[in-house]
Chains A and B, each alone.
Chain A
Amino acid sequence: MSAVVPQGPRPRSFGLARLGVYVFLGVMALLFLVPLWVMLMTSFKTMAEIRYGHILAWPQEFTFEPWGKAWSSACTGLACGGIQVGFWNSVRILVPSVIASIALGALTGYAMTFYRVRGANLMFAILLIGAFIPYQVFLYPMVRMFSSIGLYDSLAGIVVVHVVFGLPLMTLLFRNYYSSLPIELFNAARVDGAGFVTIFRHVILPMSTPIVIVATILQVTGIWNDFILGLTFAGRDNRPMTVLLNNIVNSTQGEAAYNVDMAATILTAAVPLFVYFISGRWFVRGIAAGAVKG
């Protein structure tokens, strides 16, 4: 059993070692799948079955009711609009945030890579360090700043916040990617008399597809999964799905409806999981490219 190139079979011990490899991986895979299994099974059971049955068991009486409830009538306090309210809020936050943060990251990365602007390196250094610092260090003053200019508790506010905190990673991605492009392309365009915007639009952007895909994957999953920024900046009317989910599950009065809770949880995880499953290796590429995600 060798890692890269197996050098012919090693009789006897080969079979056993091979079996060991599969047993280990199989057991680990099961362990990793158990929480997802439990969530799914719970979401299809009635509360009676949850109380008397087995958490790992297949539902005796298959019901979709919890999913309906979770989507359209689960309550947080007095509001019983279901998790769908959060879903649409998240979509409204996600789309402009992803577009704006990628656009700004690409522009910043481009300007930093191809134009020697004084102070750009210092700026990049501060951005990078900023990516490592927990949000708590910035949040309170940001709340004050945002409320003084009327951005606090608003959709625009939370979008700006996502752009701000996405900037380090986006700049890093695009700067590193553009640094790997041949400078001759840029120089040739300059010689032809193309300016800043023309080169960006017609030379650089058409070559940016791979990194834009990576950036989109990172930002969609990152922004969808955000909790703390949505909690702090989005305000009552724009609470994203994660915040609503946590309210639904953790602030229940009376007996918790675990089946509804789990259906709502799966619904919240659905978007990033969907992105993950369709993006395949691109997701891993994003991890490798953005080694500063927190």
Chain B
Amino acid sequence: MTDAPKPPRARPPLSRWRSKAPAILALIPAACVVLFIYIGAMVWTVRLSFSSSKMLPVLDNVGFNQYRRLFATERFNLSVEHIALFGCLFIAGSLVIGFLLAVFIDQRVRGEGVFRTIFLYPYAMSFIVTGLAWQWFLNPELGLQKAVREAGFPDFTFDWIVDQNRVMYTLVIAAIWQASGLVMAILLAGLRGVDAELWKATRIDAIPTWRVYVSIILPMIAPMLVTAAVLLAVAVAKLYDLVVAMTKGGPGLSSEVPAKFIMDNFFERSNVGLGSAAATVLLVTVIAIFSPWIYSQHLRPQGARR
């Protein structure tokens, strides 16, 4: 590699071509990834959404036909409804449970490390593992339902996983189980940053502890709550593995989700055009939701961060 000659001044002029050439070379792989995948593949998908592609990609132009077809497809509309329901319940549930766990752990409890480890371990596992574990646990014939019935409640019913109207809730439960530890970890870091003086002041004023958490601490850790919510929302948009493992989209179409709809149309149903249209809808939605946060978090002009 080219080593720059000794510069005459204390602060080397970095703008010179010779000193920058290796850096440019080093950035080529990343540039290729950006160019071919993050831009190229994305544009290609959008392009295919305007084509009549079935099994193989065709580059004709059928305007918005695939989109019209998409919004007239029951399976897609259902999957959008499902993901909206799942998203709201999962994000709200994980935030509430994660917040409670963080607050209670923050009470200087003994064995804090043990509790933290227990609450976060599901997050280390794959969605496939989570899905299969809960599929078995909620199995109506041999799982929880049978156990509770035999424990003396013969009328106990918990067959949500095979109930068309309730199956989404079982996915929510499993996902909250997996993700609320993540929220706890993020919020706990925020709580640990609260100034001890603040606690002294509220103690002197005899403000109840719960009041302090709700009215003072919660606004203070708002940025962490937002970060947690964004992470959870990303998981919602990507929701696929959990559904495949736990319910396979069933019973019937009652737990279909957009990411699965797209995958099925690409790789099983030979509907590349339709799948691309659905992927484009997903893309636009995701960008609309996340770009303000990405901008404020990472891309704001220098000096605004930290």
> Complex formed: what's the CA distance from A278 to B115 in Å?
16
Partner of B29, one of A33, A104, A280: A104
> Complex formed: what's the CA distance from A288 to B128 in Å?
24
Of residues 227 through 249 on chain B, the ones whose CB sits less than 8 Å from some CB of chain A are 227, 230-231, 234-235, 237-238, 240-241, 244-245, 248
Q: CB-CB contacts of A4-35 with B at 8 A, as 1s and 0s?
A: 11110000000000100110110011001111
Given A3-B191, A4-B196, A190-B4, A134 and B117 contact (CB-CB distance below 8 Å): no
> Complex formed: what's the CA distance from A134 to B79 in Å?
15
Interface footprint category on B? 35 or more
Q: Return A203 CB to nearest CB of chain B, in Å.
A: 14
> Complex formed: what's the CA distance from A1 to B108 in Å?
8
Across-interface contacts of B122 in A (CB, < 8 A): 32, 35
Q: Flag whether A112 is at the interface (Cβ < 8 A).
A: yes
Q: Flag whether A125 is at the interface (Cβ < 8 A).
A: yes
Say whether B41 contacts A3, CB under 8 Å.
no
In terms of DSSP, what is the predominant structure of the interface of chain B? Answer: helix
Partner of A195, one of B3, B38, B97, B114: B3
> Complex formed: what's the CA distance from A261 to B129 in Å?
10
Say whether B241 contacts A227, CB under 8 Å.
yes
Say whether A198 contacts B124, CB under 8 Å.
no
Of residues 70 through 90 on chain B, the ones whose CB sits less than 8 Å from some CB of chain A are none
Across-interface contacts of A123 in B (CB, < 8 A): 27, 30-31, 34
Question: Which of A7, A35, A273 has most chain B Cβ within 10 Å?
Answer: A35
Say whether A35 contacts B134, CB under 8 Å.
yes
Of residues 196 through 234 on chain A, the ones whose CB sits less than 8 Å from some CB of chain B are 196-198, 221, 224-228, 232
> Complex formed: what's the CA distance from A287 to B241 in Å?
20
Say whether B136 contacts A112, CB under 8 Å.
no
Q: Return A237 CB to nearest CB of chain B, in Å.
A: 18
> Complex formed: what's the CA distance from A270 to B175 in Å?
19
Query: Please, which residue of chain B has its CB at the minimum distance from the CB of A193?
Result: B6
Say whether B144 contacts A3, CB under 8 Å.
no
- Residues of A in contact (CB 8 Å), total 106
Say whether A225 contacts B125, CB under 8 Å.
yes
Across-interface contacts of A197 in B (CB, < 8 A): 1, 22
Q: Return B217 CB to nearest CB of chain A, in Å.
A: 8
Partner of A272, one of B10, B117, B126: B126
Q: Return A184 CB to nearest CB of chain B, in Å.
A: 10
Across-interface contacts of B57 in A (CB, < 8 A): 140, 144
Q: Flag whether B161 is at the interface (Cβ < 8 A).
A: no
Across-interface contacts of B248 in A (CB, < 8 A): 250
Given A140-B275, A246-B128, A35 and B137 contact (CB-CB distance below 8 Å): yes
Complex A-B: 21 CB contacts under 8 Å: A2-B108, A4-B199, A21-B104, A25-B109, A25-B115, A35-B177, A111-B24, A119-B31, A126-B38, A128-B299, A129-B290, A140-B57, A141-B44, A191-B6, A191-B10, A195-B19, A196-B23, A197-B22, A228-B263, A250-B248, A277-B117
Question: A residues bordering B, Cβ < 8 Å?
Answer: 1-7, 18, 21-22, 24-25, 28-29, 32-36, 38-39, 42, 50-51, 54-56, 104, 107-108, 110-112, 114-117, 119-121, 123, 125-130, 132-142, 144-145, 163-164, 167, 171-172, 187, 190-191, 193-198, 221, 224-228, 232, 242, 245-246, 249-250, 258, 261-262, 265, 268-269, 272-273, 275-277, 280, 283-284, 287-288, 291-294
Q: A135-B238, A145-B36, A291-B231 are in contact. List 16 more A-B contacts (CB 8 A).
A: A35-B134, A35-B177, A111-B24, A117-B20, A123-B30, A133-B283, A136-B262, A136-B279, A137-B41, A140-B276, A144-B44, A225-B128, A227-B240, A249-B132, A268-B126, A272-B124
